[in-house]
Amino acid sequence: MLFENVIAGERRSADDASRNINPSDTNDVIGEFARASNADVDDAIAAAKEAFPAWSRTTPLQRHDFLKKAADEVMARREELGHILSREEGKTLAEGIGEATRAGQVLDFFAGEALRAGGEAVPSVRSGVDVGITREPLGVVGIITPWNFPIAIPAWKIAPALAWGNTVVFKPSDLVPHSAWMLVDILNRAGLPAGVLNLVMGRGSVVGQALIKHPDVAAISFTGSVETGRTIAAACVASSPMKKVQLEMGGKNPLVVLNDASLSVAVDCALNGAFFSTGQRCTASSRLIVQDGIHDAFVAALIERMQALTVDNALLPGTQIGPVVDEKQLATDERYIAIGREEGATLAWGGERLNRARPGFYLQPALFTNVDNRMRIAREEIFGPVGSVIRVKDYDEALAVANDTVFGLSAGICTTSLKHATDFKRNAEAGMVMVNLATAGVDFHVPFGGRKGSSYGPREQGAYAREFYTVIKTAYTAA
């Protein structure tokens, strides 16, 4: 089946297409997805530009109603959408349905945000003058998303963009276009006027580049790797006029485990944070920083739990860890496992390629011990089910190691000490801090984002998302 791009409210085929393959069963071809050309991207941007004046003048209630209708449909079809998502991305069905549910919640939240738009009336320093501060939409927003959250990330970018009156050209990851296509279809069938939301699928080097260079795109919201993010930010600044840009990128998130932690809580947090979703989360706990006194018990208990994990086809009911997303990412994971061994870390368990009933990209979750924070496996984002245990002598060393990274997305601590939990919340150099919780797993109504090399620009999600999707106007009136 061929899935077309959606430009100016119409489905548009393209000369090129990509085959979407199920990573749990590479014989299963999900469909052919159109790859947009430069001309298609130009047309999508022109459609979004044309739709902007009328869309930006719709009432908050109209925008609320569109988003609410789409939210209700996503919620009603969350099992079907979760299945589509798990089939193309490889996360388990429970995780896929959970993510589809999250997309529905996000749409619902931003439907409400459309109604909560406000402004300020401020007394002037001059007599007889009133000052008003209002927020306005930016115009055409380009949205570029990664493969690991195929529906939630597009939802949490598209929904606030539309809620605050922008029009959108959306480019999903080439690896997971089906979830994106479904989301756009649901939003457009909720009654969005033609051109308000356009879908251009295809390669970053073609579609992404055309989007970031076009003068009629006012802003780019991007989630993906640091390398691509850097290119995008540079292009946004170089374009005329300059574009507003928001980047959410990688992580090398620490989970600190202190001697006084509950062992079962710590092992739960590590297992979930490091390996669930096949470790393919920007918030994954890839560095497990463990104090001397609990180290051996923690490692033994974690390995016991890892050995019991069922790694299999994402769509089977008992599966706990699905396959890696594709051959390229699997090769990256295996390369880092080899690098870890060469660097002198101990591969304490896992790391083997697995064969299952169907051909897929199956990898046993891997745990390294005797890791030094200077090793590449502790410094570079692997983006797979590979955890590294770093032994430390006390809390101060744990905090120093946790912060010794170019990233700063999420940081966690397992402890029963109020003193250390409080100190960690104050001093962890991360956008999100977790106490006795996995580094991955966040709420949808509060800000999401990081510091240092993990993020650039305003936060996503919650009411804070408006900082990116609106521009402020200060109006002076002499009465």
User: Hunting for tokens 């463990």 — which residue is that?
Assistant: 290
x-or-dash string of contact with ligand NAD, 159-198, rule CB under 6 A = ------------x-xx------------------------
CB of residue 288 to ligand NAD, shortest distance in Å: 18
Binding residue (CB under 6 A) for ligand NAD from 223, 278, 388, 461: 223
Cα dihedral: 63, 464, 180, 62 (round 10): 0
Q: Report the alpha-carbon distance of residue 403 to residue 412 in Å, rounded.
A: 11
Min dist. Cβ of residue 408 to ligand NAD (A): 10
| H/E element, 65 | helix 60-76
For ligand NAD, the closer of residues 50 and 380 by Cβ is 380
Instruction: Specify the residue, 198 or 228, whose C-beta has the smaller distance to ligand NAD.
Output: 228
Q: Distance (Å, rounded) from C-alpha 108 to C-alpha 75?
A: 10
Q: Is 145 in the site for ligand NAD (CB under 6 A)?
A: yes
The residue from 73, 95, 99, 248 that is catalytic is 248
Q: Counting contacts by CB under 6 A, is residue 239 touching ligand NAD?
A: no
CB of residue 180 vs ligand NAD: minimum separation in angstroms? 10
Q: Is 248 a known active-site residue? A: yes
The minimum distance between CB 412 and ligand NAD, in angstroms, equals: 16
Please state the closest distance from residue 171 (CB atom) to ligand NAD, in A.
Answer: 6
The count of residues interacting with ligand NAD (CB under 6 A) is 29
Taking the mean position of all CA atoms in its chain, how far away is CA 221? 11
**120-123, strands of its sheet edge to edge:** 120-123, 129-137, 470-478
Nearest to 344 by CA among 303, 372, 384, 373: 372
Looking at 129-137, 139-147, 269-277, 306-314, which segment touches ligand NAD (CB under 6 A)? Answer: 139-147
Closest to ligand NAD by CB, 3 vs 149, is 149
236 is catalytic: no
Among 52, 55, 109, 147, binds ligand NAD (CB under 6 A): 147
Residues 245-304 close enough to bind ligand NAD by CB under 6 A: 248-251, 282
- Rounded to an integer, what distance in angstroms lies between the CA atom of residue 319 and that of residue 453? 34
Which three-class secondary structure state does DSSP give residue 160? helix
Contacts of 201 (CB under 8 A, 6+ apart): 3, 5, 18, 33, 34, 35, 36, 171, 172, 174, 177, 180, 181, 207
Name the strand (E) or helix (H) holding 402: helix 395-403
> Which is nearer to ligand NAD, 85 or 299 (by Cβ)?
85
> In angstroms, rounded to a whole number, what is the distance separating the alpha carbons of residues 425 and 390?
20
Look up residue 413 and give its two tokens. Answer: 């601590």
Q: Binders of ligand NAD among 394-413, rule CB under 6 A?
A: 409
CB of 206 to ligand NAD, least distance (A): 9
Q: Which residues are catalytic?
A: 248, 282
- Where does this chain bind ligand NAD (CB under 6 A)? 144-149, 171, 173-174, 204-205, 208-209, 212, 223-225, 228, 231-232, 248-251, 282, 381, 383, 409, 454
